[in-house]
Amino acid sequence: MIGSAGQKRVQDRFLKSLKIPLPPLPTQHKIVDILEKAENLRKLRQQADEKMKDLIPSLFIKMFGDPAINPKEWNTKTIKDIASKEKFSIRMGPFGSQLKKHELVDEGVKVLWIENIVNNKFEWKDNKCITLEKYWQLKGFRVRPGDILTTTMGTIGKACVVPENIGKAIISSHLLKITLNSKLANPIFVAEYIRQPFAEKYFHKSSHGIVMKGLNTTIIKSLPIYLPPLPLQQEFAKLVEDIEAEKVRQAESKKKLDELFQSLMQRAFTGELVA
């Protein structure tokens, strides 16, 4: 329905003629009570989810102390010091001249982008790919399970660990990969360190670019990092894995609660809820 100003509006006579099923008042109270209890469960689930977001950073500080002050006086290294000594252990993705848009295909070896890690965790996306032949040309940019990926352009300093089921994949130009020396550092510990405010400030202070901030290999290699004993890093990593597993269970619980609430709403307005 169009009003005088050309905007859609509902006419009064339509609202006045609209019939609403109206159960007895005691039944209405029962419906409201049921829906309020369901909504309270959803709110409790949301509160638990919010607390879970801060759990890993809080655990990191509790176990290792703030990197800005290193209160436990751990030995300090750099990212370069704890990287593997193998070739290409720290490397940015290929430049545009090495991987052009017309070389991207729908199926083949996955190319990872900022979108895969921008939320500080690895997320599968509908990635563009390269052919196996192109992969062998760019194999120096390949990633393996346990590598750390960091964003280097725009949204800088986001980090995640490459999952076990990655298969064949390479990084794109705005990502950097780090392969660690497994005798010195645990990737889950290092990724969380990179996500700490100390590292974020370091990256922003060191970044270059006027229109869009960017990092280079030298900046990331030079990031100071304290190094607790490896067994303590591994203990932290195990706790993080347990927390992430709980997050998955909570997400499934939230999905079920949302579905239940929508079902209750539908049944309430069809008269089935307290029939």
Q: Are 108 and 165 found together in one domain?
A: yes
Residues 74 and 228: beta-carbon distance below 8 Å: yes
Q: What is the mean pLDDT of residues 213-229?
A: 93
pLDDT in tens, 82-111: 999 999 999 999 987 899 989 999 999 999
Q: Are 235 and 165 found together in one domain?
A: no
Q: Which residues of 209-226 are buried (b: 16+ CB within 10 A; e: fewer)?
A: eeeebbbeeebbeebebb
Which comes out higher in pLDDT, residue 166 or 211?
166
Query: Does residue 203 fall inside a structural domain?
Result: no
Residue 5: predicted pLDDT: 52
Using CA atoms, how far residue 60 sits from 183, 249, 250, in Å, is 20, 22, 21
Residue 260: predicted pLDDT: 75
Q: Are 102 and 52 found together in one domain?
A: no
Which comes out higher in pLDDT, residue 253 or 88?
88
Calculate the CA dihedral of residues 6, 10, 14, 16 and round it to 10 degrees.
-130
Q: Find tokens 């660990």 and name the residue.
A: 161
* 4 pLDDT more than 60: no
CA dist., res. 265 & res. 242, Å (int): 35
* 113 pLDDT more than 60: yes
**For residue 236, which phi and psi values (nearest 5 degrees)?**
-60, -45
- Domain holding 110, by residue range, is 83-185+209-223
Query: Does residue 167 fall inside a structural domain?
Result: yes
pLDDT band for 47, please (50, 70, 90 cuts): confident
**What is the value of pTM for the model shown?**
0.78
Q: Are 176 and 265 found together in one domain?
A: no
Give all strands of the β-sheet with 175-178 in edge-to-edge order. 90-92, 175-178, 148-151, 159-161
Which range among 6-10, 94-98, 167-171, 184-188 shows the weakest confidence by mean pLDDT? Answer: 6-10
Q: Are 261 and 159 found together in one domain?
A: no
